[in-house]
A and B are shown apart, each in its own frame.
Chain A
């Protein structure tokens, strides 16, 4: 057994010992998933879908599952709080019920309770992703938010998953489930925030299910510490005529990998999936998106943007699959990248895999540096060079920020992006 697998095995055994009275079915699920993880191992360069990302950092450090003793002193002001929203607060893997503000119209449950009443949701189909298997085997935190049919939530729900003041290299495997009943509407902010002196490993899986005609705005903000390894999967299932607006930003973590899988489970679904990654130093951010058009009259739009500085590297791999005999599919996919340094690397592969005739699909990708024409234009209007550059980068990010249809979230992201640009320009 490889050394790192042994290490994970030890943690797995500890977890089983820590919760000896777990539902036997959950135990079975965990064990099966762990076996699967062992048989797959960590991805190597030979794995087509993982080839551009190096996971050796996960081998070098022994990450330990977070325990109750790892609960830190809770800060007075919760960092990253977005105004005018409900709050679900989880710190170092521990749900803080008292600090959370939860709307009455939804039901919230933590892992175990939820598992018992929703076992079918825990079947792990994503069986070629070792991290997903690892999450199933060790899921130790997270929350389920369920909306009944016809419920409309008045304010966004902000889920803050924060990692602070850790004394050991910790790992957490949060499992989130967001379930929207028929005709329900909600805005959920899934927010990862970290500030540590040590490396940590966070491996979340979020399963998002939209029943018929439901509407969800899902904003995922990744601001883990620069020392973090953040490896995530988000799985969307869209039923008839449901609508998803997903925006995902990433700026923290040394190693970031996010798999987004979206399946239209019935006709008439509509999804926009957008992403913005702003990275610097030696950060490596890798996003893989698969959208399955398996039903008629579904529409998807993807736009992913990367801004890369210093020695950072980005990977974008998006795939649209249209199954045989589906009709009226409309899918659009775009990836645009801005390289700010001569050491940055971008790898992109926007793919179309189409088995049906009745489609309108397109994709595009561009990579380049700051447009010198635009720069000249701004400077000729008397704007300083650095201010001009800042404006251009900001303009580049704008498309994505504008997709956020909540003012408070938009302001938050806007500020973050602006700060990021300023920092990068000062360093340069």
Chain B
């Protein structure tokens, strides 16, 4: 479904990704681990189309289409979702209204009719429970004044509502207490199907205990230096990253 070939990317002339290869098939959950600053978010941003990074080499195809040529929203409408590491707040914009606008954009793209306000509220009330977020958050402005954990739950709420094919979770676990972590992992696990894929970015092994990834990749200085199964995460937990560095 997603094929990344030899991606090089830079910002302000500084090379950050130095040849990434990664291929994700339907139903798979891949985890990327790495220290702060190794380029994990950069990779997520390139897949979703953020403009401030320059792809200098390589290709990304998504369901056979050249992803790099698509606009940000076309990628989103094609089924790619990112749970942001740092979700931005949008003052004055009602959270539920925002989510309905996003859902309607998707329905419209699929040639379906838009969802009306009352059906939407019914739908969203269900989902809110899944992430253990109070309903009152729906009527607040998007992420405005939300705590770190509330923002992350809100991201997952959006994922559950928009039902993407490929979900990129950029450090959705960081800053969460253990209960919140479980809630979110559970939300994701219940959401897993044979067609939905995930790319979970983290630098803790913690999340993976709950999520059971199919593959683990270690990103160091813009390159995937090692890939493996869950045992790799355990090794990292014991030995840290240095044994993988040259």
Touch test A–B (CB under 8 Å): no
